[in-house]
Structure 1
């Protein structure tokens, strides 16, 4: 169940699209949306208007979150608003944790200029956030909600299991199918020379089978797949496009060594390339054991 959703906004078209998606999720779950605007303190923003000294970025931010709250009210969604000063990634991550959010929703692009939620900023939020982050790429086809097909890449690690456990209730609520996917990346060091790709595929079969069993035990439809690709992100994207997947859920850390598929860098590359929303789930220390 999602009760609190944090949405950073900068009034760009991309941020507006992320807000629309977040409002659809909030309306479905009866959740409150926490609207945040970050007045980036890396830029000078204090000026004098008449006889008053004002922070123009904070004043602009108040207008931005008020407009977003009005859009939410039109959808019957309750909101709380905040304008904070600071660096964008750390402020967004800290506010989401402070608000005890269940989900943080943001675009991979934003307004160029004073506050921009560009790809690198989004990736830094993903690295720092203790809250699952749902990212959307602007410019793609209209994002589907509720989701009908959810893919969870797995390497058998605790981080991948954490992502799977987050995806199961999402799929259950929507009546969606969970695709448990393992990608055998042939571009890895030693693959084909010292390590047989077929051997890796056998390990992948076992990891997928365990994931499918976990999903089906929760009463959710599951499909298992092992794909061979030059890299994990390319394999994930190809599977998404071939099977019409609506959401990718993946851990932000994964197993190191020969069978690493879900390292943070892989998740970040998926954010840039996968043409559907990506839910990144931070792994706790217990998950990674």
Structure 2
């Protein structure tokens, strides 16, 4: 039996939290580009942490932040809302996202550790765990629309949700489905039979995964597949570098009990090691979409 089609419409509202630092420039430019392409409303948010130990004039602080927000984006082609709020950064972002029925949160990441990997940051990780909707982490400059996408898969439901979301949001982009695997112990001992059997099993799982994924007619035939041996970060990073990938789409378990404790280790590692932008898609994001955001 074919699964029910369950496609998102183009996002109607994008949320961009900003702290006015230089690292927010790239996420701002990407959010503007997406809002213009989708005809979406852009909500700009600045959160003031309410520290009672620091004497300040709340109204003056709000007025200054409001003026900065209004000067952040000068674009008459898109609808823009601004909001200044006091409170915990993550909780406030989530509250504003709910208030405006946000479809996508856009944020930035810029710092690297001594090994050259990106540092995900506490607020970004908390958003990834708690938001229950797609989170776009921008690393590169927004020079053009996303054209080359990579969707990672371990054949799970969360990776299925990520693939469907990638197709829904970027229907004109080229998409490659990437799966990394490890050879079992008996194959490492020189037994070619088990290795071949494992590869055949992966091919069957891949076919079953794609056949059970509700995609627009003809889309499946346009999706490239890359199955490679090795650690998932290395396989994904090699593919991104070799194919000039603009965006990696990664599924997470969203609001599951495990995910509330930490962002999945694979998703976290991929966010850190990939040079391209990353879209984190929680498995719960489609189930939690309001009825008017779903086409059945």
TM-score (normalised: structure 1): 0.77
Match of 2:69 among 56, 65, 71: 65
Correspondence for 2:162: 163
Structure 2: how far apart are the matches of 1:131 and 1:285? 5
- Shift in Å, 1:237: 1.4
- Residue segments in structure 2 that go unaligned for 5+ positions in a row: 1-9, 112-118, 255-262, 288-296
- Shift in Å, 1:74: 2.4
Correspondence for 1:176: 173
> Is it true that 1:134 corresponds to 2:136 in the alignment?
yes
Point out 4+ residue stretches in structure 1 off by more than 6 angstroms.
188-191
Q: How many residues align?
A: 256
Q: Report SS of the residue matched to 1:134.
A: strand
The higher relative CO (CA closer than 8 Å, separation ≥ 6) is in: 2
Structure 2: how far apart are the matches of 1:143 and 1:119? 21
Correspondence for 1:204: 202
Match of 1:37 among 46, 49, 71: 46
Could you tell me whether the CA contact under 8 Å between 2:27 and 2:106 is conserved in 1? yes
Could you tell me whether the CA contact under 8 Å between 2:17 and 2:44 is conserved in 1? yes
Q: Closer, same or farther in 2 for the Cα pair 1:41/1:217, shift >3 Å?
A: same
- Shift in Å, 1:267: 1.2
Could you tell me whether the CA contact under 8 Å between 1:97 and 1:131 is conserved in 2? no
Q: Closer, same or farther in 2 for the Cα pair 1:120/1:206, shift >3 Å?
A: farther
Correspondence for 1:113: none
What is the RMSD computed on CA atoms of the aligned residues? 3.1
Write the deviation string for residues 122-152 of structure 1: whole angstroms up to 9, x where unpaired: 1121111112000012xx4x34532222111
Write the deviation string for residues 166-208 of structure 1: whole angstroms up to 9, x where unpaired: 0112331xx222111111156x999958xx7665544433343
Q: Closer, same or farther in 2 for the Cα pair 1:183/1:28, shift >3 Å?
A: same
